[in-house]
Structure 1
Amino acid sequence: MNAVEYHEATTHRRDRMSAGRRMDRATQPAQFKEYPQDLERVSLPRENAFPVMTMPEALAAPEALSQPLTMDRLARVLSLTCGLTASVGSIYLRSNPSAGALYPVEAYVAMPGAGEDAGGVFHYAPGEHALTRIRRGDGAAYAATTCRLPEGAGAPAAMFLFTTIFHRTAWKYGDRGYRYVLLDVGHVVENLLLACRAEHLGAVCVTDFADDAVNSLLGVDAEREVCQCMVAVYHGQAPDTAPPTEPRGLEYIEDRQAMAAASATVRNEPAYPMIVATHEAGNLARAESMQPGPVMDASALSLEVLSTEQLPGASELFAGRQLPPLARTMLSRRSQRGFLPEMPDDRTTQAFLRLLCDRLEGGGDEPDRTVATAVIMGRAEETAMYVLNRKAGKLERVRTHAERYPDGNLREAVADACLGQGWLARAAFQVLFLTDVSKLEATLGPRGYRRSGVLAGRQGERAYLAAQTLGMGACGVGAFFDDELAAALGLVQGGKGIYIVAAGPCQQR
């Protein structure tokens, strides 16, 4: 099953909802992955001084300043990436948002082995804030051979690998849950990239890698749990040599059956053949360089541009503004729906949009633009939709061609298409992440669908954190009547919405 077929099969329509599953308590997934007790556990420091850098400062800071990846620094990075932050009854909340608070993402760290340091591959247990060593040896070097890192990048200080356990999300959302696990991966990856910037560590996101080799490295059951994304982390030093093509030794997994059994979250876990088939269609047999892919902008989505506006620079928007440290923002982030029907002032609006850009002042390498970022905003009759050029920091106002709704009711149109969730219409900003699944398939093959889902999740997490940084709230939405949403937005030539994050001033909690 290719991505186009999967997306159509899981499309919500008023007369045919993509089938979720009755949440059978007998197959309710465990919240945390558990390994055999005889594996080595490494406790991480809990009392840790987090960086005081704000979100704008982190986005503007140099990525790497020769900082070693110490145990303290690793502990802080993991806490900010996907650590526990609170509990509500029996549900444990984390620094990353997740559809239905189901948290399908598992985090692994592959470390180099040098001298007396055994290195190896570790699983992060957020419930214990500890690492479980899966195998010893030069895990980072082995992980690096499964993908193509940027030329001249050198040997990574660590490779972070993020898997998803299908049943955690599909237990509630059925086959459409595959869309949501990709978004969840993006949330976690964006947290990691921002945490690395705050720690002055370099980081590179990699979505193309040899799937079987990576899953084998982690010892997972690939019918239940698969790697979706990797991030190479650097400490700023530039070695003279690239990662070795052959690892310097890696311990074998003696009991693969027991290791793979840890991927199961409950006895009698159901199978998800559509999800597995869709995922496997995009598997790569060997390491390949990431291709640029199609640029999803107003033109690619066949949206008519009415006007263009350049956002002010970061120095103008953030100078003298008292903002919380990024770490505090990440650890206190919550989904909020109590939106007030009001727009923030113009400077706050522009600051919010600037924080959605890849770099605060533009420039730099060409970002992945296989997903377009659109924003519906404005006061009353001035409400309109804009496409954000995340590299140049420009806004393009576009015509929506929404036949049922004039421009002034765009917010209501989106709320109606999102299963009639009225709170969405009160949000100051409706940030929409759009792509053309057919163009992705034609250009990048089935792998493009994974990449776009992860990128949409990354940009969605950026919207969450930008809103919280500026004293607002945010909440993500992945359930909507797909064709109605596309029609309301004027996506008449194949464009699709894949994620929405509502943001704006909220009632005080």
Structure 2
Amino acid sequence: MGNDYIEAARIFHEVTKHSYTSVRSSPHFLDWDIKPLPYKIYPGAASVALPRDLNLSSTPTLAALSSYVPADFSAPIDTPALTRILFCADGLTRHKRVGADDYHFRAAPSAGALYPIEIYVAASDVDVLENGLYHFSPADLRMTGLRRGDWRSYIAEAAAQRPSIRHASVVIALSAIYWRSEWKYRARAYRYCYWDAGTLLANLLAAAAAEEISAEVITAFEDPALEKLLGIDGEREGMIALVALGRSDQPATPSPQIEPLTLESIPLSAKDEVYQDRVKMHRESRLVTADEVAMVSAAKLESAPSESPPSANALHLETITSEESAGLGETILRRGSSRAFAQQAITAEELATILAASSVHPQADFPALTEIYLIVNAAEGLEPGAYYYNRDGRAFELLKAGNFRGEAGYLCLEQPLGMDCSALVVYMADLERALHALGNRGYGYAHLEAGILGGRAYLAAYSLGRGATGLTFYDDDTTKFFEPHAAGKSPLWMVALGIPRSRMKS
């Protein structure tokens, strides 16, 4: 029925909720024999090796997170800079062997370390790199050639003639291979794919800023046109977002005649399962015509009560200077996902710094949809309790005081991480407001923004020597905990912040 049929998103959200009962009444057993490959491989295609002497940026992470580079002041993009941006977004940072299995860890966090997001690169003005469409392979730091030519005009036409695309040096396209995440998380994986795209974008945008290269996220486009360009089916692998990188002095030329992409990729597993709830949700959120793209691009949100100025008793806390954070390259190589916290306090200044650095809305074509709530378990200088964080005013508003470690642990599916962390950050949104303005597309946008903000919180925390991990949750119970302030809002993602237990032992 299309993007305007918002009942599709309502139904999907309801059937994919977690509750105390649903988690226990619907057990899911992982079939390790069909676990999907973590990489998309084109065995018959030629590829280009990217530079391996990365020399990652030493720009303070907090500065990279808070920087915005206007397109007119963007530095040119050469191959080493492009490689650093791609590596920081999705590069292979380390691997670990556990029993008979190899675990490959990448630059950005991913739910279950399943990495469903693929990166395609349309290069048009990158020194020695031939103009063309490529697929980025994080496993071996190579780019597989898919199509020759300048594809900016084609992509811009599919995206309502977005000026940043027509003038970009590089356009990056992100897609999701849903089965990678569905293997573990079933239909709810659709949400997780947007989180994962968001954390990847958080890294990518910070890396671009560190290179003094402009970056704009674009999410309104004609899905079929881009699916045809990338050679994806739109159901098992679907579009998520575009990123216009840099500004080129070379005008976009008419794109070549598009032909079907005949390159075959290796099957991810012996078989995959199709979760119809996820398939329906994605179908009903695709934009098919130029008119649909124009309507979503021009949509305006109704104002929300929580966008008002902070209340009179709101706390404005001191923040740490950018220079006190580790360099971006060091942070990305250091980043992991904490598996246990020490029930120790971070400082209120550290928490305020993490939220201030991570909550700025990215340069993007979609509006700010996400609101931030948190449970503070232990932060020196801040009373334990439940808070609302005003993104615009950078202020903490106390909703209720008290020790809520038990509640925090329960809400994130009874995981000790929520109970033991210093603060549990909860990203929420009024989904009805988003759907009425943006259609079903707004559902993905809200989760994508939560992923970006949460991904930035990861980077900010690790740059200060702290830890972070992403968590899922009991949906309705989380809303109830933060009521009445959070009435009508839905949790999108949680990120726990604190001091990793292993660090305390070392």
Same fold (TM over 0.5): yes
How do 1:141-220 residues align onto structure 2 when only pairs under 5 Å count?
A: 141-148=153-160, 155-220=167-232
Within the candidate set 12, 19, 27, 1:6 is matched to: 12
Shift of 1:422: 2.2
Match of 1:397? 397
2:369 aligns to what? 370
Task: Between 96-105 and 435-444, report the one with greater CA deviation.
Answer: 435-444
**SS, match of residue 399 in structure 1:** strand
Following superposition, the deviation at residue 366 of structure 1 comes to 10
CA shift digits 1:64-86 (9 cap, x unpaired): 54422111111111110000001
2: distance between equivalents of 1:439 and 1:266? 39
Question: Residue 153 of structure 1: CA displacement?
Answer: 7.2
Indicate whether 1:79 and 2:78 are aligned.
no
The answer on whether the counterparts of 1:160 and 1:233 sit within 8 Å (CA) in structure 2 is yes
**What is the alpha-carbon distance in structure 2 between the residues aligned to residue 68 and residue 114 of structure 1?**
8
Provide the rounded CA distance (Å) in 1 between the counterparts of 2:126 and 2:138.
26
Q: How far did residue 298 of structure 1 move?
A: 6.0
Aligned partner letter, 1:474: A
d(CA) in 1 for partners of 2:31 and 2:189?
A: 16
Q: Which amino acid aligns with 1:382?
A: E
> How far does the alpha carbon of each residue in 1:43-78 deviate from its partner, in whole angstroms, 9 at most, with x for none?
111112122101222245451544221111111111
CA contact (8 A) 1:39 1:133 kept: yes
- Deviation at 1:14? 1.7
Query: What TM-score results when the alignment is normalised by the length of structure 2?
Result: 0.87
Cα offset for 1:410?
A: 2.8
Any idea what the Cα deviations from partners look like across 1:170-225, whole Å, max 9, x if unmatched?
01111111111110011111111111000110000111111111111100122210
Q: 2:3 aligns to what? A: none
Deviation, structure 1 residue 451: 0.5
- Matches of 1:16 and 1:350, distance apart in 2: 35
Shift in CA distance, 293/185, structure 1 to aligned 2, threshold 3 Å: farther
Taking the aligned partners of 1:187 and 1:134, their CA distance within structure 2 comes to 26
- Which letter maps to 1:11? K
Matched, 1:465 2:464: no
Measure the CA separation in 1 of the matches of 2:52 and 2:477. Answer: 47
Residues 226 and 386 of structure 1, relative CA distance in 2, 3 Å threshold: same
- 1:328 matched residue in structure 2: 330
User: Counterparts of 1:198 and 1:180 in 2: how far apart (Å)?
Assistant: 27
Superposed CA offset, 1:427-465 (max 9, x none): 111111001222222221100001011111001101111
Q: Tell me, which stretches of 5 or more residues in structure 2 are unaligned?
A: 1-6
Please say if 1:388 is aligned against 2:389. Answer: yes
1:305–1:398: 8 Å Cα contact kept in structure 2?
A: no
Judge conservation of contact 2:450–2:493 (CA < 8 Å) in 1: yes
1:59-458 aligned at under 5 Å gives the runs 59-61=65-67, 63=69, 65-89=73-97, 90-112=102-124, 118-148=130-160, 155-235=167-247, 247-250=254-257, 252-253=259-260, 255=262, 259=264, 262=266, 264-287=267-290, 288-289=293-294, 290-291=297-298, 293-294=300-301, 299=306, 307-312=313-318, 317-318=320-321, 321-358=323-360, 368-377=367-376, 379=378, 382-390=383-391, 392-399=392-399, 407-458=401-452
Q: Which amino acid aligns with 1:267?
A: A
The Cα of 1:412 is off from its aligned counterpart by: 2.1
Alpha-carbon distance between aligned partners in 1 of 2:427 and 2:127, rounded to the nearest angstrom: 46
- Cα distance between partner residues in 1 of 2:387 and 2:299: 24
**Structure 1 length-normalised TM:** 0.87
Report the AA paired with residue 276 of structure 1: V
Note if contact 1:163-1:228 (Cα within 8 Å) is conserved in structure 2: yes
SS at match of 1:307: coil
Call closer, same or farther: CA 1:132–1:300 in 2, change over 3 Å.
Answer: same
Classify the secondary structure of the residue corresponding to 1:308: coil
> Aligned pair 1:39/2:32, yes or no?
no
| RMSD value, Cα | 3.0
SS at 2:21 equivalent? coil
Aligned mates of 2:299, 2:315 — CA distance in 1: 26
Unaligned runs of 5+ in 1: 401-406
- What amino acid does structure 2 have at the position aligned with 1:74? L
